[in-house]
Structures are given as structure tokens and as C-alpha cells.
Chains A and B, each alone.
Chain A
């Protein structure tokens, strides 16, 4: 008998060669082959770099007035020109990027914590589901930006309050998404198997439900980052965000609005920065969704 005869071996003699290891690593590998994701990552990466490096890459104080130098067009001494008070637009836009990123991260963090918590509780415990979801529905019944305007108008304009307002607006939406995946996961047979083994609720949520709910959550959070940046710009444009002269993209654009004809760069430059950020984040999110969403992967 030759070695090709398998009968003596265990039934898994025809076991496959080891393949890709951790599922997360496999996803990462697919991500780095995804062009849309890479483009988005690149765009957002630029803004994130500017935000992080703001103190080192800007020489002029963003709030230093210099009436001599007002309305300088881009090029020359001031690379992006100056505004109506002669402040360096480069400095203001870069510091504005930092504020946008800080607000984006904070809103995403709030959502990651409270959205997950509320969504997981509502999806897993049917008793609290109805109460939580009715509150959720009530909050979601307001148009997002109107609710944010209402909350900041109530709390007063400040960076902290913008974060709080955007948290109140978006946490219910995130909670809905988490709840939807938890409801599906709760019925999975591996969850049933854990129940049959005697696992408690906490263990089931931590080991079996939340890790598997992460993928749609990450996709949602990347889009949320874009909404947060956009909403913050809207709020400060309306005078409800960080108090001037704090440089935010919304503030710069609000001030530039009056000089749109004579100095269009004041409103255009933060506008372009905002657009690139949101575009980059949305591309990033689409890429993540392509790679992480199992429903899309099955269709391939």
C-alpha cells in the first residue's frame, strides 16, 4: 500500500493547508487593496496630519491681527493669503482642521460608548428595548441639524457644547444600527450554544455579540466622523459653535461670506478643506463597508 492511501489516517487526512489567519488580518489585507478606501485614507490622512502638526507647521498666530496685511490673496508672504483682519488663512485653516478633528473624534467616541451601550442593551434585553427605542425615535424625529441648533442655542456656543449637541443628535442613530446587528446576532446558534453551556448575559455580550457587531459599527463611525465635521462647520457658520475668534472652518467661512466678491479665497479655502475631509471620510467608509459587510461579500 502506498502513501496516497488515506484510509488509515484520521478522517481529516485531507485537511486543508493553513490559510489566512485571524479574520481581522484578512479584512485588513483586503482593505489595503481597496482603491476607494486608500484614496479616502489619503485625503483624510492629509487633514489629520495638518491637525496633529498644527503647532509646528504654522508660524503665524491664527488670531494675530495685522490690519496692514488684510485681504492679501494666496501666494506671496502668506501662502493662503489673509482675511479681513489680516490673519494668516493658512494658520487659521490648519488650526481649524485641528478643531474639526477633535470634535470628530469626540463625537465618534461618544457614539462608540453610548451608542454601543444603548444599542446593545436595547437589542439584547427585550424588556428595556421598547422604552429605549421610543426615546430614540423621539430624538430621531427631529431633523438632525435643527436638533443640534436647538441644543447649542440652549446651552450656549462653545466647543464643548457642540460636542454635546452632536452627541445627543447622533447617538440614537448609532444605537439603532448597533441594536439591529445585536438582534440578529442574539439568535445565532453560537450564542445559543453559550447559553446552553451556562454563560451569563455579560459574557455573551462581551465575547459573542459585541465583537461580531463591531464591523457595521466601524463603518457607521467613519461616516459619523464626516457628519460631525460637517455639522460643526454648519453650527459655527451660524454662530452657534466655538466662539470667534477661535479658528474653525465654519467661523472662517461665516466671516468670509461678506467679502465673497472681493476676497473669495477666504470662504473658498476652508470650504475646500471641508469638502476634501468629508469626501475622504465617505470614501473611507464606503471602502470599509465593502470589506467588512458580509452581505456584500457574499454577492461577489
Chain B
């Protein structure tokens, strides 16, 4: 059975100009111990998906219009704030992009870790402190005993993200949601944090949902990938297959427009146009105005995610034509 099972989830926001859906009809699951990558650009709804799962969206203005989020036999969308607090921590934990604003600047980091443990467990002060030190050691903070009494501003960005991970691990979560965990970090630090996340998965067996705009991060970490565009899942696939045989024109475009570290290309293949704002999404397929393979029919129907190969699904009505066009010698 899946650890987390999301079915037909639609979340909307009330705005000045009426209700706008941020994510639409999202369905996917995460298995225990799996790393699921969710890729998308701004406005794709990837962060809203995570925040909906965590119950962290302020309601209003946010509103879950339909769907369910099953975790541990419970539908998280139906739980009260009190019940959700019991899930957050030991059930699902989350880390964010900006480790500076996620930590409270006026408390020592040891205190912040111990507070999280205390919220879910009764421990003696001695045992509490030992646990916190262990956690800091586990996330690779050097001389953790001494670091316990540091304030967040005394740490570097990478170390702060490690502390955030330690806090997330404090209650041994079964699912860790990492929302752009390395976007604010330099590339050498990014590599360290990604290594840490994968080591922790191997060691603790927790599942990780890693949300990113960076295809490289996905290639490096994920077992399975969801590609989101303008609030909808457009493709879902095991990671190797996604990079070997992407189906959706948007996924292909994303893979093509990133320059290579190894060889030269005279010109980058750009996706024309820009991302639609949530309130101004086109009719039919959301990607249609930017798609090289769009046909009149694309404007009429909203393509649904359908399986094209085992575990590999895409939401595009033109896949046969695209495959034929690709097969033709240019």
C-alpha cells in the first residue's frame, strides 16, 4: 500500500478577481522509502501541492475544492488543525527553500530542535539534549555539542539547511517533503545536501518528496518523477525512462533547453512564450500556446493523464502524431 495517496486533488485561491485554481485534479502516490521528484517552473503548482498535503495553506484564501490526501488510512483534508499537528513531525515533515527564514533567529538551534522533539515526546532534559546532539551529528554538523548553543545567524546557509533537516528528522517522519531544498545554496553545498538526503533515505527508510525546478536535481536523486505545468501533472514516469524517452512536449522542451556541461551546441532550443498566470490559463491543453505540435483539437479538450507504457503516463492528445513526426528522418 502506498504511504501517501493523493486522489483528484484540486486547490483554489480566492483572489480579487475571483477564484483561481492553483492545482487541478492531481493524483499520485508515494511508496515507503521512495524518492519522488516533482519538477515544474513557477506557477506549476508544485509547492501548493506540498503545502496542501501538509495542511499548511491558510484557508481562506486557499480552499480544497475536491479530492483526498490519504496518509495512514486518514484523509488529511478532513482533519482538524489539532489532528494535523499530530501528523506533522512523526508522520510528515517538511523543509523549505530559505533556511534563514525557516529558523527563528532569537533561539539557539539546540533549543529549536529540542522544542520539536518535546512537542511529540516526553523525555528527560538530559535525554532530550542527547537526542538533539545526535540529530545534529546525523545531519553532518561538525562538533554538534558546541553548535547546539549557536544562533542561526552564526551558521552558513548550508549548515542552516542541515539544521532544518535535523528538525524535520526529530520525530522520525515517514515522509519528508523537501521544497526546493537546494535552490538558495551554492552548487558545492547543493551536492552536500543532496548526498545527505539520499544517505538519510538509505539509513532511515523514509520516503522523500523533492520539489524542484532543476532537472539535474531530479536526475541525481529521484526514483520517480512528476512533471507539472500550470497546475496539472503533464507527465509521470520512472526517472531513467523520463530522461531516455520523454513523452510530453513540455518535458522534452525542459530537457532540451538546458545547456550541456560536456559538449557544445550552437543554439539552445527554447520553449517560446512565457508561463501562463493562474488567472489567464488557456483553454484546453495548458501548454498549447507554447507547443510546437499543437493542433486545433488541443484547444477543445483538457488532456488527461493516461498510461502509455508501464508506470509511464502523459497528458497529451497528440502523442501518436508526435511520435510519427520524430520517427521521420528530418
**Do A and B touch each other in the complex, judged by CB within 8 A?**
yes
Interface residues of A (CB under 8 A from B): 2, 4-7, 9, 11-14, 16-17
Contact pattern, B 253-283, Cβ under 8 Å of A = 1, otherwise 0:
0000000000000000010111011001000
Bound complex: CA of A17 vs CA of B281, how far in Å?
12
Chain A nearest Cβ from B56, distance in angstroms: 15
Query: What is the CA–CA distance of A295 and B272 in the complex, to the nearest angstrom?
Result: 33
- A13 vs B270: C-alpha distance when bound (angstroms): 14
Give bound CA distance, A14 to B280, whole Å. 11
Q: Which residue of A lies closest to B296 (CB)?
A: A2
Q: List 24 A-B contacts (CB under 8 A).
A: A2-B295, A2-B296, A4-B288, A4-B295, A4-B296, A4-B298, A5-B292, A6-B273, A6-B289, A6-B290, A6-B294, A7-B272, A9-B272, A11-B270, A11-B272, A12-B273, A12-B274, A13-B272, A13-B273, A14-B276, A14-B289, A14-B290, A16-B277, A16-B280
State in angstroms the CA–CA spacing of A229 and B108 once bound together: 47
The interface bits of chain B over 59-92 (1 if a CB of A lies within 8 angstroms of the residue's CB, else 0) are: 0000000000000000000000000000000000
Give CA–CA (A12, B271) in the complex, Å: 11
- Which chain B residues in 118-145 approach chain A with CB under 8 Å? none
Interface status of B299 (Cβ within 8 A of chain A) = yes
Specify the chain A residue showing the minimal Cβ separation from B294.
A4
A2 to B299: give the CA distance in the assembly, Å. Answer: 11
Contact in complex: B289, A4 (CB < 8 Å)? yes
Distance to closest chain B CB from A30 (angstroms): 8
B219 to chain A, nearest CB (A): 27
Cβ distance B63 to chain A, nearest Cβ, rounded Å? 16
* C-alpha gap A14/B296 in the complex (Å): 17
* Docked pose: A83 CA to B272 CA in angstroms: 78
A13-B280 contact in complex given A2-B295, A6-B272, C-beta closer than 8 Å:
no
- For the complex of A and B, list the 7 residue pairs with the smallest distance between their C-beta atoms, beginning with the closest: A14-B273, A14-B289, A11-B272, A4-B294, A2-B296, A6-B289, A7-B292
Contact pattern, B 213-227, Cβ under 8 Å of A = 1, otherwise 0: 000000000000000
Q: Which chain A residues border B276 with CB–CB below 8 Å?
A: 14
By beta carbon, the residue of chain B nearest A11 is B272
B289 nearest CB across to chain A (Å): 5
Distance, CA A7 to CA B272, complexed state (A): 7
Contact B273 A5 (CB under 8 A): no
| Residues of A with C-beta under 8 A to B270 | 11
In whole angstroms, what is the CA distance A17 to B17 when docked?
Answer: 15
A residues within 8 A CB of B277? 16
Give the complex CA separation of A11 and B290 in angstroms: 9
A287 to chain B, nearest CB (A): 16
Contacts of B290 in A (CB 8 A): 6, 14
A13 CA / B298 CA spacing, docked (Å)? 18
Partner of B273, one of A2, A4, A11: A11
| B289 and A13 form a contact (CB under 8 A) | yes
Q: How close is A49's CB to chain B, nearest CB, in angstroms?
A: 32
Instruction: Find the B residue at minimum CB distance from A14.
Output: B273
Residues of the B chain whose Cβ atoms lie less than 8 Å from the Cβ of A16: 277, 280
For window 295-323 of B, CB contacts with A under 8 Å fall at 295-296, 298-299
A113 to B292, CA, bound (A): 58
Cβ–Cβ < 8 Å partners of B272 in chain A: 6-7, 9, 11, 13-14
User: Closest Cβ of chain A: how far from B43's Cβ, in Å?
Assistant: 13
Residues A5 and B280 in contact, CB atoms below 8 Å apart: no
Residue numbers in B under 8 Å from A2 (CB-CB): 294-296
Chain B residues near A9 (CB-CB < 8 A): 272
How many Å from the CB of B61 to the closest CB on chain A?
Answer: 8
Residues of chain B with a CB closer than 8 A to A17's CB? 280
Q: Which residue of B lies closest to A2 (CB)?
A: B296
Q: How far, in whole Å, are A9 and B276 apart by their CA atoms in the complex? A: 17
A5-B292, A13-B273 known, 18 other contacts, Cβ within 8 Å = A4-B288, A4-B289, A4-B296, A4-B298, A6-B272, A6-B289, A6-B290, A7-B272, A7-B292, A12-B274, A13-B272, A13-B289, A14-B272, A14-B273, A14-B274, A14-B276, A16-B277, A16-B280
Once bound together, how far apart are the Cα atoms of A12 and B298, in whole Å? 20
Q: Which of A4, A7, A11, A12 contacts B299 (CB 8 A)?
A: A4
A4 CA to B298 CA, complexed, in Å: 9
Shortest Cβ distance from residue B282 to the other chain A in the assembled complex, whole angstroms: 8
Q: How far is the CB of B249 from chain A (nearest CB, A)?
A: 12
Min C-beta distance of A18 to chain B, whole Å:
12
CB distance from B12 to the nearest CB of A (A): 16
Interface hub of A2, A4, A6, A17 (most chain B Cβ within 10 A): A4
* Closest Cβ–Cβ distance, residue B125 to chain A (whole Å): 38
In the bound complex, how far is the Cα of B290 from the Cα of A12, in angstroms? 10
Instruction: State A16–B43 Cα separation when bound (angstroms).
Output: 15
Give B282's nearest chain A residue, CB to CB: A14
Question: In angstroms, how far is the closest chain B Cβ from the Cβ of A88?
Answer: 49
In the complex, residue of chain B having the shortest beta-carbon distance to the beta carbon of A16: B280
Measured between C-beta atoms, what is the minimum distance from A291 to chain B in Å?
A: 12
Give B274's nearest chain A residue, CB to CB. A14
Q: Roughly how many angstroms separate A284 CA and B288 CA in the complex, as a whole number?
A: 47
Min distance, Cβ B244 to any Cβ of chain A, angstroms? 26
Q: Measured between alpha carbons, how far is A5 from B288 in the docked complex, in Å?
A: 8
Of chain A, the residue at the smallest CB distance from B288 is: A4
Of all chain A residues, the one with the shortest Cβ separation from B285 is A4
Most buried by B among A7, A9, A17: A7
Residues of A within 8 A of B289 (CB): 4, 6, 13-14
User: Chain A contacts of B298 at CB under 8 A?
Assistant: 4
Which of chain A's residues has its CB closest to B275's CB? A14
**B62–chain A nearest beta-carbon distance, Å:** 12
The distance in angstroms between the C-alpha atoms of A2 and B296, with both chains bound, is 7
B293's nearest neighbour on chain A, judged by CB, is: A5
Chain B residue with Cβ nearest A13: B273
Cα separation A14 to B271 with both chains bound (whole Å) = 12
Task: Find chain B residues with CB under 8 A from A6 CB.
Answer: 272-273, 289-290, 294
